[in-house]
Amino acid sequence: MSDFDPGRRQFLGHLGLAGLGALGAGSLLSACASSAGGPTTSDGSGAITIQSNLSSPQAKAAMEKLIESFNAQGKGTARLNTIASETFRVQLPTYLTSANPPDLYTWYAGSVANDYASKDLLLDVSDVWKSLGDYPQSLRTLSTDASGKQIFVPMNNYWWGFFYRKSNFAKWGVREPKTWTDFLALCETLKSKGVPPIGIGLGDTPWVASAWFDYLNIRINGAPFHRELLAGKQRFDDPRVKAVFTRWREALPYFDPKGKAYPFQEATTALLAGKTGMFLIGTFFADAAPKDALGDLDFFRFPVIDPAVPLAEEAPTDGFFASAKTANPTGTRALLAYLAGVEAQEAYVKASSGIVLPANPKAKAVDSPLVVKGKAMLDEAKELTQFFNRDSNDALQPTADTALIKFIDKPDQIDAILREWQSSAEKVFKG
């Protein structure tokens, strides 16, 4: 449930944070102003502290295993600190700016990491990249900040697509669409059969709507325009952005009306139960799927709208960055090099439940038809985007949630919605 972290599935963990609401208003806000925060880090032994937001049981166990085997190698000692992901997200700036910060963090590549790098908070890990010669250029570019040094080490990425149950598509006698026109025809067919064609889960996880915006925008206006828009170099009330919503409106009548009220986990359940036809979602949704249903799942690429636009896909990349203030830069880099290696990445992919692709090209992913198909789709793409909040920043995400949910409710007011979106985005960029 992190509201915000499309990369991980969360349950009600964030509710724990709600307890903060019990603190006085004034003290709540300034609680994070004290620089006393942050756990104690490098003690005399030079142990490396890893702040990890991988708090789901499988991922946590996988990380613990990795750290154990690193410690067994004798190149240094590392300590894992697993934090509930919503708390982690809120506290991350505090960790990084504290006087004695943890050394290493799980987080996302792209503009999120670059923002921190521009404030000189991240350790230069170009040395680590020297040993990652066989990593694809796209990941290297993604891990490089504005000044040209690498500040991020990728662990894995995953893809988004329209997931559906093969048995249900067979039962309804429909096939995967290739183009937008096919897609709308498919929706019409499913609707005539009494099935809500497009599942969605916006209650509590409103960011899921951003996938629609991202995809329509990269299909219609292309990935470069999308990135500029999310970096504040283009305007949300631009006619090109409006064109995205004109297309979206064609699909709106086919959305499951109940999707507004429940989170994506329940939308997953609805899809598996055959109560919706298909569902645009990232592979992390499979964590919530019973294992016996996984074999029946398949997906298709977000349909092409304008063949002239170079093909782009969303492929959020997770990995690590380190604090510039680490007391043990050598040990931290050694640990990063280990985590980027084949052995560590294969172990992680095996141990964690999600369908993820290891970043290291030599590491083998889980061998399933779904993963093979996903990898092929990403390999075919000319451009990879991250996701709305990762290509912009977490602060811009709430403005998107407001605008997109309002559009889904009141598509007639699109002009006013886009004007409002632009003005709230300006406030965020201004800080």
Partner 1 sequence: MTATISTTSVTPTRRRRRSARLSPLLVAFVLVPFAVESVWVFWPALQGFWFSLTSWDGMSPPAYVGADNYVELAGDATFRGALVNTVIWLVLFGGLSVLGGFGMALILQKERRGVGFYRAALFTPVVFSLVVTALVWRVFYQPDGVADTLLRAVGLEQLIRPWLADPQTALYAVILPALWRQIGYVMVLFLAGLKAIDPALHEAARMDGANSWQRLRHVTIPQLRGINAVVLSIIVIDSLRSFDIVWSLTRGGPYHSSELLSTYMYSTAFQSLRLGYASAIAVVIFVLALAVILGYLVRAFREEA
Q: Does 167 bind partner 1 (CB under 8 A)?
A: no
Please identify which residue in 71, 94, 167, 422 interacts with partner 1, judged by CB under 8 A.
94
- Residue number, 74 or 431, with CB nearest to partner 1: 431
* Euclidean distance between the first and the last CA atom of the chain, given in angstroms as a whole number: 26
Q: Does 145 bind partner 1 (CB under 8 A)?
A: no
Strands (DSSP E) along 239-385, which ranges?
A: 278-282, 297-300, 312-314, 317-322, 357-358, 383-385
Q: How far is CA 205 from CA 101, 200, 210, 263, 387, in A?
A: 30, 10, 10, 5, 14
- Residue number, 83 or 121, with CB nearest to partner 1: 121
Q: Does 431 bind partner 1 (CB under 8 A)?
A: yes
Part in contact with partner 1 (CB under 8 A); list of ranges 146-154, 191-199, 201-209, 327-335: 201-209
Q: Give the three-class secondary structure for 262.
A: coil
Q: Does 173 bind partner 1 (CB under 8 A)?
A: no
The kind and range of the H/E element at 294 are helix 291-294
Q: How far is CA 291 from CA 171, 295, 297, 354, 372, in A?
A: 21, 8, 10, 11, 18
The footprint of partner 1 on this chain (CB under 8 A) covers a number of residues equal to 51
Q: How many angstroms separate the CA atoms of 251 and 187, rounded?
A: 8
Q: How many angstroms separate the CA atoms of 277 and 272, rounded?
A: 9
Q: How many angstroms separate the CA atoms of 249 and 34, rounded?
A: 47
Q: Least distance (Å) from partner 1 to the CB of residue 292?
A: 24
- Residue number, 32 or 185, with CB nearest to partner 1: 32
Q: Does 206 bind partner 1 (CB under 8 A)?
A: yes
- Residue number, 48 or 96, with CB nearest to partner 1: 96
Please identify which residue in 405, 411, 419, 422 interacts with partner 1, judged by CB under 8 A.
405
242 in Cβ contact with 414 (< 8 Å): yes
Query: Of 208, 159, 74, 118, which Cα lies nearest the Cα of 386?
Result: 159
Pattern 243-282, binding to partner 1, x per CB under 8 A?
--------------xx-xxx---x----------------
Q: Least distance (Å) from partner 1 to the CB of residue 9?
A: 17
302 in Cβ contact with 373 (< 8 Å): no
Q: Least distance (Å) from partner 1 to the CB of residue 64?
A: 26
Pattern 9-38, binding to partner 1, x per CB under 8 A?
---x--xx-xxxxx-xxxxxxxxxxx----
Q: Does 397 bind partner 1 (CB under 8 A)?
A: yes
Phi-psi label, residue 415: left if phi above 0, alpha if psi -120 to 50, beta otherwise: alpha
Q: Does 216 bind partner 1 (CB under 8 A)?
A: no
244 in Cβ contact with 217 (< 8 Å): yes
Q: Least distance (Å) from partner 1 to the CB of residue 412?
A: 15
CB neighbourhood size of 196 (10 A): 19
Pattern 102-121, binding to partner 1, x per CB under 8 A?
-----------------x-x
Please identify which residue in 93, 136, 232, 411 interacts with partner 1, judged by CB under 8 A.
93
| Per-residue tokens: 70 | 């690193």
- Note the residues at the interface with partner 1 (CB under 8 A): 3-4, 12, 15-16, 18-22, 24-34, 90, 93-94, 96-97, 119, 121, 202-204, 206, 257-258, 260-262, 266, 394-395, 397-398, 401-403, 405-406, 409, 427-428, 431
